[in-house]
Amino acid sequence: MNLIVDAGNTFVKVAVFQEDKLLSHESFKKEVFQKKIEKILKKFPEVNQMITSSVTKLRKETKEFLSKLDIKVLKLTHETNVPFQNNYTTPETLGVDRIALIVAAVTQYPKQNVLVIDAGTCITYDFKTHNEMYLGGSISPGIQLRYKTLNLLTANLPLLEPKMPENYIGDSTENAIHSGVTVGVITEIDGIIEHYKEQFEHLTVILTGGDTNFLAKRLKNTIFANSKFLLQGLNNVLEYNRYND
Protein backbone atom coordinates (compact mmCIF):
# COMPACT_ATOMS: atom_id res chain seq x y z
CA MET A 1 0.00 0.00 0.00
CA ASN A 2 1.33 3.42 -1.00
CA LEU A 3 1.23 6.80 0.73
CA ILE A 4 1.47 9.79 -1.63
CA VAL A 5 2.55 13.21 -0.34
CA ASP A 6 2.46 16.30 -2.56
CA ALA A 7 3.69 19.35 -0.61
CA GLY A 8 2.88 22.75 -2.06
CA ASN A 9 3.70 26.23 -0.83
CA THR A 10 0.87 26.28 1.72
CA PHE A 11 -1.09 23.04 1.50
CA VAL A 12 -0.16 19.37 1.46
CA LYS A 13 -2.16 16.86 -0.58
CA VAL A 14 -1.97 13.23 0.48
CA ALA A 15 -3.44 10.04 -0.89
CA VAL A 16 -3.39 6.32 -0.16
CA PHE A 17 -3.31 3.83 -3.02
CA GLN A 18 -3.61 0.06 -3.14
CA GLU A 19 -1.64 -0.52 -6.35
CA ASP A 20 -3.54 1.78 -8.76
CA LYS A 21 -6.75 2.08 -6.72
CA LEU A 22 -7.25 5.35 -4.85
CA LEU A 23 -8.46 4.57 -1.32
CA SER A 24 -8.25 7.98 0.37
CA HIS A 25 -7.16 11.55 -0.27
CA GLU A 26 -7.20 14.86 1.59
CA SER A 27 -5.56 18.29 1.76
CA PHE A 28 -4.32 20.20 4.80
CA LYS A 29 -1.94 22.97 5.85
CA LYS A 30 1.76 22.22 6.27
CA GLU A 31 1.68 23.10 9.96
CA VAL A 32 -0.30 19.94 10.82
CA PHE A 33 1.74 17.62 8.58
CA GLN A 34 3.05 15.27 11.27
CA LYS A 35 -0.29 14.81 13.05
CA LYS A 36 -2.10 14.13 9.80
CA ILE A 37 0.46 11.60 8.54
CA GLU A 38 0.45 9.78 11.88
CA LYS A 39 -3.35 9.59 11.72
CA ILE A 40 -3.27 8.25 8.15
CA LEU A 41 -0.67 5.60 8.98
CA LYS A 42 -2.75 4.52 11.95
CA LYS A 43 -5.81 4.19 9.71
CA PHE A 44 -3.85 2.37 6.99
CA PRO A 45 -1.21 0.25 8.80
CA GLU A 46 -0.58 -1.70 5.57
CA VAL A 47 1.26 1.27 4.06
CA ASN A 48 4.81 0.08 3.35
CA GLN A 49 6.16 2.72 0.98
CA MET A 50 5.80 6.42 0.43
CA ILE A 51 6.70 9.08 -2.12
CA THR A 52 7.20 12.77 -1.38
CA SER A 53 6.99 15.55 -3.94
CA SER A 54 7.59 19.15 -2.95
CA VAL A 55 7.81 22.39 -4.94
CA THR A 56 9.51 23.96 -1.91
CA LYS A 57 12.05 22.73 0.62
CA LEU A 58 10.55 20.61 3.37
CA ARG A 59 10.95 21.93 6.88
CA LYS A 60 13.70 20.42 9.03
CA GLU A 61 11.26 18.84 11.48
CA THR A 62 9.32 17.33 8.60
CA LYS A 63 12.45 15.71 7.18
CA GLU A 64 13.36 14.36 10.61
CA PHE A 65 9.86 12.95 11.06
CA LEU A 66 9.96 11.21 7.67
CA SER A 67 13.41 9.74 8.35
CA LYS A 68 12.09 8.01 11.46
CA LEU A 69 9.17 6.29 9.75
CA ASP A 70 9.42 2.54 9.42
CA ILE A 71 8.51 2.58 5.74
CA LYS A 72 10.43 3.10 2.53
CA VAL A 73 10.40 6.77 1.50
CA LEU A 74 11.16 7.88 -2.06
CA LYS A 75 11.81 11.58 -2.67
CA LEU A 76 10.94 12.54 -6.23
CA THR A 77 13.71 14.49 -8.00
CA HIS A 78 14.89 14.94 -11.57
CA GLU A 79 17.22 11.96 -10.97
CA THR A 80 14.42 9.53 -10.04
CA ASN A 81 13.87 6.61 -12.42
CA VAL A 82 10.99 7.38 -14.79
CA PRO A 83 9.48 5.51 -17.77
CA PHE A 84 10.14 8.18 -20.37
CA GLN A 85 13.03 9.84 -22.19
CA ASN A 86 13.53 13.36 -20.86
CA ASN A 87 14.55 15.80 -23.60
CA TYR A 88 14.31 18.88 -21.37
CA THR A 89 17.56 20.77 -21.79
CA THR A 90 17.66 21.73 -18.09
CA PRO A 91 16.26 18.63 -16.33
CA GLU A 92 17.46 19.87 -12.94
CA THR A 93 15.02 22.81 -13.20
CA LEU A 94 12.02 20.73 -14.26
CA GLY A 95 9.38 20.79 -11.52
CA VAL A 96 8.73 17.46 -9.84
CA ASP A 97 4.99 18.00 -10.30
CA ARG A 98 5.52 18.14 -14.06
CA ILE A 99 7.62 14.97 -13.93
CA ALA A 100 4.81 13.16 -12.11
CA LEU A 101 2.22 14.36 -14.63
CA ILE A 102 4.23 12.98 -17.53
CA VAL A 103 4.68 9.65 -15.74
CA ALA A 104 0.89 9.53 -15.35
CA ALA A 105 0.52 10.24 -19.08
CA VAL A 106 2.99 7.49 -20.00
CA THR A 107 1.38 4.98 -17.65
CA GLN A 108 -2.25 5.69 -18.41
CA TYR A 109 -1.96 6.69 -22.09
CA PRO A 110 0.93 4.63 -23.49
CA LYS A 111 1.98 5.04 -27.12
CA GLN A 112 -0.09 8.19 -27.51
CA ASN A 113 0.73 11.84 -28.09
CA VAL A 114 -0.40 13.46 -24.84
CA LEU A 115 -0.62 17.09 -23.74
CA VAL A 116 -1.13 17.53 -19.99
CA ILE A 117 -2.50 20.89 -18.86
CA ASP A 118 -2.25 21.59 -15.13
CA ALA A 119 -4.38 24.61 -14.24
CA GLY A 120 -3.31 25.76 -10.80
CA THR A 121 -1.32 28.73 -9.50
CA CYS A 122 0.45 28.51 -12.84
CA ILE A 123 -0.86 26.84 -15.96
CA THR A 124 1.69 24.31 -17.16
CA TYR A 125 1.61 22.53 -20.49
CA ASP A 126 3.65 19.32 -20.79
CA PHE A 127 3.89 17.11 -23.84
CA LYS A 128 5.07 13.56 -24.42
CA THR A 129 5.15 11.78 -27.78
CA HIS A 130 3.73 8.39 -28.73
CA ASN A 131 7.21 6.89 -28.27
CA GLU A 132 7.35 8.13 -24.65
CA MET A 133 9.66 11.09 -25.23
CA TYR A 134 9.11 14.21 -23.12
CA LEU A 135 9.71 17.34 -25.19
CA GLY A 136 8.79 20.06 -22.70
CA GLY A 137 5.96 22.57 -22.79
CA SER A 138 5.18 26.02 -21.41
CA ILE A 139 4.25 27.89 -18.24
CA SER A 140 1.88 30.83 -17.86
CA PRO A 141 0.08 32.57 -14.95
CA GLY A 142 -2.99 30.79 -13.59
CA ILE A 143 -6.44 32.31 -13.08
CA GLN A 144 -5.95 33.39 -9.46
CA LEU A 145 -2.49 34.73 -10.21
CA ARG A 146 -3.85 36.91 -13.02
CA TYR A 147 -6.53 38.40 -10.80
CA LYS A 148 -4.00 39.09 -8.02
CA THR A 149 -1.46 40.61 -10.40
CA LEU A 150 -3.99 43.07 -11.82
CA ASN A 151 -4.80 44.19 -8.28
CA LEU A 152 -1.24 44.34 -6.91
CA LEU A 153 0.47 45.99 -9.86
CA THR A 154 -2.12 48.67 -10.57
CA ALA A 155 -3.43 51.55 -8.51
CA ASN A 156 -7.18 51.18 -8.93
CA LEU A 157 -8.15 47.71 -10.13
CA PRO A 158 -9.97 45.62 -7.49
CA LEU A 159 -9.18 42.05 -6.44
CA LEU A 160 -12.01 39.82 -7.67
CA GLU A 161 -13.03 36.20 -7.32
CA PRO A 162 -13.05 34.18 -10.56
CA LYS A 163 -16.27 34.52 -12.52
CA MET A 164 -17.26 33.78 -16.09
CA PRO A 165 -18.86 36.94 -17.57
CA GLU A 166 -22.08 36.69 -19.57
CA ASN A 167 -20.50 38.70 -22.38
CA TYR A 168 -16.87 38.82 -23.43
CA ILE A 169 -17.27 42.57 -23.94
CA GLY A 170 -16.97 43.91 -20.38
CA ASP A 171 -19.46 46.73 -19.75
CA SER A 172 -17.88 47.64 -16.39
CA THR A 173 -14.40 47.52 -14.89
CA GLU A 174 -15.24 44.35 -12.96
CA ASN A 175 -16.73 42.64 -16.01
CA ALA A 176 -13.77 43.77 -18.11
CA ILE A 177 -11.39 42.12 -15.62
CA HIS A 178 -13.47 38.92 -15.56
CA SER A 179 -13.48 38.85 -19.34
CA GLY A 180 -9.78 39.57 -19.62
CA VAL A 181 -8.83 36.85 -17.16
CA THR A 182 -11.30 34.01 -17.72
CA VAL A 183 -11.93 34.44 -21.44
CA GLY A 184 -8.21 35.08 -21.87
CA VAL A 185 -7.26 31.83 -20.13
CA ILE A 186 -9.82 29.78 -22.04
CA THR A 187 -8.73 31.28 -25.36
CA GLU A 188 -5.08 30.64 -24.46
CA ILE A 189 -5.69 26.99 -23.60
CA ASP A 190 -7.79 26.31 -26.69
CA GLY A 191 -5.21 28.08 -28.85
CA ILE A 192 -2.28 26.08 -27.48
CA ILE A 193 -4.19 22.82 -27.94
CA GLU A 194 -4.79 23.77 -31.59
CA HIS A 195 -1.07 24.45 -32.09
CA TYR A 196 -0.23 20.96 -30.81
CA LYS A 197 -2.94 19.39 -32.96
CA GLU A 198 -1.41 20.98 -36.04
CA GLN A 199 1.95 19.34 -35.33
CA PHE A 200 0.98 16.03 -33.71
CA GLU A 201 -1.72 13.64 -34.88
CA HIS A 202 -4.25 11.92 -32.60
CA LEU A 203 -3.54 14.21 -29.67
CA THR A 204 -4.92 13.27 -26.25
CA VAL A 205 -5.41 16.24 -23.90
CA ILE A 206 -5.59 15.90 -20.11
CA LEU A 207 -6.78 18.80 -17.95
CA THR A 208 -5.96 18.70 -14.24
CA GLY A 209 -5.26 21.04 -11.33
CA GLY A 210 -7.33 23.21 -9.00
CA ASP A 211 -9.21 25.04 -11.78
CA THR A 212 -10.21 21.87 -13.64
CA ASN A 213 -13.92 22.13 -12.87
CA PHE A 214 -14.06 25.84 -13.73
CA LEU A 215 -12.45 25.33 -17.13
CA ALA A 216 -13.42 21.86 -18.35
CA LYS A 217 -16.89 22.55 -19.76
CA ARG A 218 -15.89 25.91 -21.21
CA LEU A 219 -13.14 24.67 -23.54
CA LYS A 220 -13.99 24.09 -27.19
CA ASN A 221 -11.51 21.24 -27.55
CA THR A 222 -12.22 17.71 -26.36
CA ILE A 223 -10.30 17.02 -23.18
CA PHE A 224 -10.20 14.43 -20.40
CA ALA A 225 -10.66 16.17 -17.03
CA ASN A 226 -8.93 14.46 -14.10
CA SER A 227 -8.29 16.51 -10.95
CA LYS A 228 -6.39 13.56 -9.36
CA PHE A 229 -3.93 13.12 -12.24
CA LEU A 230 -0.91 14.39 -10.26
CA LEU A 231 -1.58 12.08 -7.31
CA GLN A 232 -1.99 9.19 -9.71
CA GLY A 233 1.27 10.13 -11.40
CA LEU A 234 3.14 10.14 -8.10
CA ASN A 235 1.72 6.71 -7.35
CA ASN A 236 2.83 5.57 -10.81
CA VAL A 237 6.37 6.80 -10.06
CA LEU A 238 6.41 4.87 -6.81
CA GLU A 239 5.14 1.68 -8.41
CA TYR A 240 7.62 2.00 -11.28
CA ASN A 241 10.54 2.36 -8.84
CA ARG A 242 9.34 -0.64 -6.85
CA TYR A 243 10.50 -2.78 -9.78
CA ASN A 244 13.17 -0.54 -11.32
CA ASP A 245 15.52 0.44 -8.49
Instruction: Give catalytic residues, as residue numbers.
Output: 97
Q: From CA 190, how far away is CA 89, in angstroms rounded?
A: 26
Q: 76: how many CB neighbours lie within 10 A of its CB?
A: 23
- CA 194, 120, 72: angle at the middle one, nearest 5? 115
Stated length of the chain:
245
Q: Which of 136, 139, 144, 128 is nearest to 215 (CA)?
A: 144
Please write down the HEC assignment for all residues of 99-127: HHHHHHHHHHCCCCEEEEEEECCEEEEEE
